[in-house]
Amino acid sequence: MRYGKINKTDIANGPGVRVSLFVSGCRNHCKGCFNPETWAFDYGEAFTLRTVDEILKALDKPYISGLSILGGEPFEPENVGTVFDLCRQVKSRFPDKTIWIYTGYLYEKIEPILNDTIDVLVDGPFIEAQKDITLKFKGSKNQRIIDVQASRSSGSVKLLY
Ligand code: SF4
């Protein structure tokens, strides 16, 4: 996996101050995508053990609420294994910090592969016609902010907001 950017003080992609990782590679190609340079799987830098250390160190601050993973598309087959490894490491080291993942896929499609390390999924493609800059933590009205563990245990989608 490769990644374009790590933001160590992000206040736009989830509650509180967060560390955000923007992975490379996305086949969704939403019209009006805010980050089209990240569609290429070879964009940015290689994600290595050193990158994991950098993220863990950035999370190890009392004012950091958690990790947000965006793209690109974290659930592309080329990325998802590395993304899940990172989630496992983050949750085992910081069980009280939340993990949010942004995806262009719908929850219903990826629910079978979700695990207990993911707290929130912001799902669905960016739809330009439904863009609304006043929306909190998402770009278009169709996207849902889903409480993953409540949804998994109840068997139906539970929104966080
Ligand atoms: S899923 Fe995200 S990164 Fe991919 S095209 Fe849509 S908005 Fe852009």
pLDDT tens-digit map of 108-128 = 999 999 999 999 999 999 999
CA–CA distances in Å: residue 106 to residues 17, 43, 55, 103: 26, 24, 27, 8
DSSP-assigned beta bridge partners for residue 5: 22
At 62-100, the pLDDT tens digits run: 999 999 999 999 999 999 999 999 999 999 999 999 999
At 8-61, the pLDDT tens digits run: 999 999 999 999 999 999 999 999 998 899 999 999 999 999 999 999 999 999
CB 45 within 8 A of CB 24: no
pLDDT (0 to 100) of residue 122: 98
The residue whose CA is least distant from atom 8 of ligand 1 is: 33
Does residue 99 lie within any of the structural domains?
A: yes
CB burial of residue 159 (10 Å; 0-12, 13-18, 19+): exposed
CB atoms < 10 A from the CB of 94, how many?
16
Between the CA of 52 and the centroid of ligand 1 the distance, in Å, is 23
Does residue 160 lie within any of the structural domains?
A: no
The position carrying tokens 């993973």 is 69
Between the CA of 38 and the centroid of ligand 1 the distance, in Å, is 8
Does residue 123 lie within any of the structural domains?
A: yes
Provide the domain limits for residue 33. Answer: 2-154
pLDDT (0 to 100) of residue 5: 97
Q: What is the CATH number of the domain that holds 115?
A: 3.20.20.70
Atom of ligand 1 nearest to the CA of 126: 7
Number of domains the chain is built from = 1
**Two structure tokens written together for 91:** 């949750």
Does residue 161 lie within any of the structural domains?
A: no
Does residue 159 lie within any of the structural domains?
A: no
Chain-centre distance for alpha carbon 120:
8
Identify the DSSP state of 102: E
CA–CA distances in Å: residue 53 to residues 49, 94, 133: 6, 13, 34
CB 43 within 8 A of CB 37: yes
**Pocket of ligand 1 from Cβ distances under 6 Å:** 26, 28-30, 33, 35, 38, 71-73, 104, 125-126
Q: How much is the pTM?
A: 0.97
Does residue 126 lie within any of the structural domains?
A: yes
Chain-centre distance for alpha carbon 78:
15
